Structure formats: structure tokens, C-alpha cells
Amino acid sequence: MTFTQRLRKVQHKTQSLLCVGLDTDPALLPRGLSGMPDGVVSFNRAIIDATRDLVCAYKLNLAFYEAMGEYGWHAMRETLAYIGEGVLTIGDGKRGDIGNTADQYASALFDDLRFDAVTLNPYMGRDSVEPFLAYPGRGVFLLALTSNPGSKDFQRLKVGSKRLYERVVHAAAGWNMKKNIGLVVGATHPRELKHVRSLAPSMPLLIPGVGKQGGDLRSAIRYGCDAEGGLAVINVGRSVLYASQEANFAEAAREEAAMLRNEIEVYRKQFFS
């Protein structure tokens, strides 16, 4: 099964396009877990228990784990083991390096940590992406138009009649022989999201930027989904993780995640049925 097919299947089974970003900051752990030896893992487990039936995927941003050194690597491994099968895991590291080095990153993320998908930065071109594409059933989300202010600095530059991020979309579509490439497009750019979906009608789109960053969920669903109302992965991090910093943090996270998932379902019915 291709990664695209896997994603479609998981979204169908879970009836959810929601992805919770487990970007756990030890400095923001709720009272009771803060400062505990395995606090980050305990926190992640509680969030996973509270949201597992509401999501199609969990995304771990590697920066947060690397900032914890060796323990971070352990915490990532424990968290991934706890997630187990049934939903997808995305290793958000935005890596990109020359061929023989990309082999090492692919090995770290796919062989060792066993993520189902990763995010990659396209700047170094095709040979920086290819080693990841060789893994059957695994997926790659290439950065196209990111959710941050700096996305204007290079991604929107005009290259002939196209913008740079459009060139990335075209290149990605050309490299997608195994149907295992998706794109990252921020919800903060609804018009461009619509445009990318028109250029890549059947590629998975990972859509960050809803919530704290100001992206609109309704537009993300309307413009980010494929014709069947799927293949958009809506990532939400801080607003779920830190819905409460009290003892009820897990219930609060569940409430927030359920609210977002249900809102997504309302828009899916509105636009795709």
C-alpha cells in the first residue's frame, strides 16, 4: 500500500483529519508532571490516551526532543511505542542533506524511530529527498509554503511566471512515482492552499498554522482537502497540549481536540457531501 493510500485508509477508519502535534516543552508541563524524571513521556502518554480516538496522526517536532538531549531521544522512542498502530506518526524534522547524509537521516527516522512519515526541506533538491522515497509505505511531506512570516522571504519569490513554492509543488509531483510524497502548506495562506490543492489534486497536504498562528480551520478544510474531502492533515499543537496546565490537562486536551475534530467534520459535510 502506498503512503497516500495508508493515509486515506486511516482517515476513513478514524473519521478524522486531525493531527495532534506532540511538541512537548518540559518548561510547560502541568503541575504534578513538571520536573518529574519521566515527565515528558508521562505527559505525552496522557495526551495520547485522551485523544487517540480523535486523530488520524500524531506529529512530533524533533526540535523539542533534541533540546532535551539523550533523554529526548528516549522520550521520542517511548512516545512512538505508546502510539503504536492504528494512527500515523509524523517525524517533523524538516531535514535535507546530500545523498549519503540523507541516507543517515532516513535511517534515523524510518529504520530506528520508525516514523510513518517525515517532513523534509526541499532546498537541496532531489538527491536530498530520494533516500526517503525508497521506504515502501512511508511518506515524505516536502515544505512548500510554510505557516510562518519568513515564508515570504524566499518561498514566495517569483521564478519566471511561478512562485518558488509552486516550483516545489511541480517538482514534488514529478518525483512522486511511488505516491509517497505530500506537501506542507500553512493554514495561514488559504488562497495559496487552494492553489496548491488544484496543482496537486491527489497528494496529501500537511497543514499547520491553525490556532495560535492564526490560520482559519474552515478554509483549511475547504481548500486543503482533495475532492473526496480527505488527504488533508490538520496539525494542532499548543492549543491542545496546553489547553490547561492544571491537573485536568488531559481532559482539557480531549475537549479541545474533540471540538476541533467535530468542527472539521462539520466543514467536511458542508463542502464534500
**Rule CB under 8 A: which residues touch its own copies?**
23, 25, 61, 63-64, 66-67, 69-70, 73-74, 77, 94-99, 101-102, 104-105, 107-108, 112-113, 121-129, 143, 146-155, 157-160, 164, 167-168, 171, 213
Closer CB to its own copies, 190 or 229, in the complex: 190
Cell 486515506, residue located: 8
- The least CB distance from residue 74 to its own copies, in Å, is 6
Closer CB to its own copies, 205 or 225, in the complex: 205
- The least CB distance from residue 131 to its own copies, in Å, is 10
Cell 478524522, residue located: 16
Where would I find the H helices in 58-175? 62-66, 70-83, 99-106, 126-133, 164-175
Helix (H, G, I), strand (E, B), or coil: what is residue 95? strand
Closer CB to its own copies, 82 or 272, in the complex: 82
Closer CB to its own copies, 131 or 224, in the complex: 131
Residue environment code for 1-11, b if the CB has 16+ CB neighbours within 10 A, otherwise e: eebbebbbebb
The identity of residue 152, as a single letter, is K
178 is catalytic: no
Closest Cα partner for 132 from 143, 140, 124? 140
- The least CB distance from residue 187 to its own copies, in Å, is 13
Tell me which of 13, 59, 94, 212 is the catalytic residue: 94
Residues in CB range of 262: below 8 A, 6 or more apart: none
d(CA 200, CA 197): 5
- The least CB distance from residue 204 to its own copies, in Å, is 20
Q: Enumerate the active-site residues.
A: 94
